[in-house]
């Protein structure tokens, strides 16, 4: 099978991809918490997604990154590389003196080329709605995902302020959505995804960008609340499917439906939770993690279901050995809840290079950042962040339109495959730190 890549020796540890154009436009839709069963099983309220999967190329599963959480995953989707290369290791950065609430919002934190960069450098136009890590990105029409650390500020005002070009948000309100408040863009309500799709539809119809990226987020919120199944999940998924339909319909209204490839994918699957585990309690009990500012030698930075060991002194081998020893002496009923992921395996999967090791829980267990109280507590709802080595944590993929074959099924692919595929469809040069590892979609 032909590779995704045409490789030229650049001497930079990069591969350079250049292709003949297949589509004039690409729409990349990410449904947060998207799962293959949403389009494989007819019990789900997804007529648009099921139709697109039947009429296009779809994957049985898409392997994610570690941790399998939103911001690292979305950055992999637009860079084609793992977190170790692109630099967005978690949703929120590790802050030694305690979390402030900030996340990786700004695009300039990404260390590698993005598909937005490639489109911009090719002289083409792009647009984006609510995509993670997109503040300040080289996107022509950009409504980024962003919020303020000021708790007195609503969640919509910062988005207004960061939308570019200036005046675009008000233009969208006037022509597409009506006047918006933070409530109308909240993941608590169906209107959040509905209005996001109206924004995307307006940008497609008005500006016809070569690339549009959009993040649909309500399904993730519902799965956190209900787990993999439940009333809220079904309602949120029906709304997400409707939002996809709005976007696809906009292509027809814009007269570009026959020259536009649509990709629907996600960032991670979801796992039902019955137990929470607080590994920082172990460190506190052994004198490694004190309550005062700076009073620590080691602490676990939790990210979804996983936990990553951070050292105050990165060369402190004694403390790492102490942590390994205390983990090995835990009661069997606690040891069975997780496995230790050593540095060599973290390197192999492309996880944060600053972590000494990580704890990957078994399905059903999620990590807590608490350093006081019980180590093990009951858990409920659902989460993600797990090591991506089992089916439930995988996300999905549908490719529809030019460049994709009706009815084709790809057994397995990786998040790293998506950005090179977008570049291939548009025929733009694109650099990645290493080739995509799995089967090409749509050949």
47-99 per-position pLDDT tens digit: 999 999 999 999 999 999 999 999 999 999 999 999 999 999 999 999 999 89
pLDDT at residue 440 is higher than 60: no
pLDDT at residue 11 is higher than 70: no
Min mean pLDDT across 147-161, 210-224, 352-366, 414-428 is at 147-161
Min mean pLDDT across 172-186, 230-244, 294-308 is at 172-186
Min mean pLDDT across 24-33, 187-196, 303-312, 330-339 is at 187-196
Average pLDDT, integer, range 303-316: 96
pLDDT at residue 12 is higher than 60: no
Q: How far is CA 159 from CA 27, 135, 206, 210, in A?
A: 21, 9, 21, 23
85-98 per-position pLDDT tens digit: 999 999 999 999 98
| pLDDT > 70 fraction of the chain, expressed in percent and rounded | 93
Sort strands 306-311 and 357-361 into parallel, antiparallel or unpaired.
antiparallel
Task: State the pLDDT at residue 10.
Answer: 26
pLDDT at residue 18 is higher than 70: no
Q: How far is CA 263 from CA 138, 189, 301, 370, 388, in A?
A: 21, 25, 33, 39, 22
Superfamily of 15-271+389-432 according to CATH: Alkaline Phosphatase, subunit A (3.40.720.10)
Query: Residue 158 and residue 141: Cα distance in Å, rounded?
Result: 16
Query: Residue 144 and residue 129: Cα distance in Å, rounded?
Result: 6
Q: Which residues, listed in sequence order, are joined to residue 106 by a DSSP beta bridge?
A: 135
In what helix (H) or strand (E) does residue 29 lie, and over which residues does it extend? strand 25-31
Give the start-end residues of each E strand in 293-374. Answer: 298-303, 306-311, 338-341, 357-361, 365-367
Q: Which candidate, 123, 120, 116, places its Cα nearest to that of 144? A: 116
Peptide bond into 83 cis (omega under 30): no
Every domain of the chain and the residues it spans: 15-271+389-432, 274-379
The token duo for 204 is 């497609």
Task: State the pLDDT at residue 7.
Answer: 27
Task: State the pLDDT at residue 17.
Answer: 52
113-170 per-position pLDDT tens digit: 999 999 999 999 999 999 999 999 999 999 999 999 998 899 899 999 999 999 999 9
Query: Residue 402 and residue 416: Cα distance in Å, rounded?
Result: 21
pLDDT band for 187, please (50, 70, 90 cuts): confident
Average pLDDT, integer, range 303-327: 96
Average pLDDT of every residue of the chain: 92
Q: Which residues, listed in sequence order, are joined to residue 62 by a DSSP beta bridge?
A: 395, 413
Residue 7 CB contacts under 8 Å (≥ 6 apart), including other chains? 15, 16, 435
Task: State the pLDDT at residue 2.
Answer: 27
Query: Residue 371 and residue 280: Cα distance in Å, rounded?
Result: 5
pLDDT band for 19, please (50, 70, 90 cuts): low
Task: State the pLDDT at residue 322.
Answer: 97
Query: Residue 314 and residue 340: Cα distance in Å, rounded?
Result: 18
274-379: CATH class: alpha beta
Each residue of 356-390: b (16+ CB within 10 Å) or e? bbbbbbbeebbbbebbeeebbeebebbbbbbbbee
421-433 per-position pLDDT tens digit: 999 999 999 987 6
pLDDT band for 437, please (50, 70, 90 cuts): very low
Tell how many helices (H) and how many strands (E) occur in the chain: 15, 21
* CB of 334 closer than 8 Å to CB of 375: yes
| pLDDT > 90 fraction of the chain, expressed in percent and rounded | 87
360-408 per-position pLDDT tens digit: 999 999 999 999 999 999 999 999 999 999 999 999 999 999 999 999 9
């Amino acid at each position: 099978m032909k590779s995704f890549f045409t490789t030229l020796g650049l001497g930079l540890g990069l591969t350079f991809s250049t292709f003949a154009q297949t589509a004039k436009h690409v729409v990349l839709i990410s449904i947060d918490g998207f799962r293959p069963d949403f389009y494989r099983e007819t019990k789900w309220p997804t007529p648009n997604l099921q139709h697109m999967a039947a009429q296009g190329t779809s994957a049985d599963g898409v392997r994610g990154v570690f941790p399998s959480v939103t911001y690292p995953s979305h950055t992999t989707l637009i860079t084609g590389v793992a977190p170790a290369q692109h630099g967005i290791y978690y949703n929120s950065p590790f802050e030694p003196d305690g979390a402030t609430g900030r996340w990786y919002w700004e695009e300039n934190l990404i260390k590698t080329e993005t598909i937005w960069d490639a489109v911009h450098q090719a002289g083409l136009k792009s647009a984006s709605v609510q995509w993670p890590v997109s503040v300040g990105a080289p996107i022509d029409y950009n409504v980024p995902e962003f919020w303020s650390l000021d708790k007195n500020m609503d969640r919509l005002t910062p988005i207004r302020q960061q939308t570019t070009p200036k005046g675009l948000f008000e233009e969208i309100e006037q022509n597409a959505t009506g006047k918006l408040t933070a409530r109308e863009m909240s993941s608590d309500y169906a209107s959040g995804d509905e209005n996001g799709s109206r924004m995307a539809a307006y940008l497609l119809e008005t500006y016809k960008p070569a690339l549009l990226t959009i993040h649909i987020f309500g399904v993730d919120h519902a799965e956190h609340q209900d787990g993999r199944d439940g009333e809220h999940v079904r309602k949120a998924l029906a709304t997400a499917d409707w939002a996809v339909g709005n976007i696809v319909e906009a292509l027809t209204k814009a007269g570009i439906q026959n020259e536009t490839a649509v990709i629907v994918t996600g960032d991670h699957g979801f796992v039902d939770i019955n137990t929470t585990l607080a590994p920082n309690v172990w460190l506190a009990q052994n004198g490694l993690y004190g309550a005062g500012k700076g009073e620590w030698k080691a602490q676990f930075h939790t990210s979804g279901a996983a936990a990553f060991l951070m050292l105050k002194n990165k060369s402190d081998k004694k403390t790492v050995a102490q942590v390994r020893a205390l983990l090995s002496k835990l009661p069997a009923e606690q040891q069975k809840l997780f496995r230790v992921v050593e540095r060599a395996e973290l390197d192999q999967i492309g996880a944060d290079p600053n972590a000494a090791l990580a704890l990957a829980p078994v399905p059903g267990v999620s990590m807590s950042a608490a350093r006081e109280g019980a180590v093990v507590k009951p858990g409920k709802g659902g989460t993600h962040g797990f090591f991506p080595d089992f089916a439930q944590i995988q996300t999905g993929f549908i490719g529809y339109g030019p460049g994709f074959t009706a009815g084709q099924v790809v057994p397995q692919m990786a998040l790293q495959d998506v950005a090179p595929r977008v570049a291939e469809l548009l025929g733009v040069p694109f650099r990645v730190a290493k080739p995509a590892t799995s089967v090409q979609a749509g050949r």
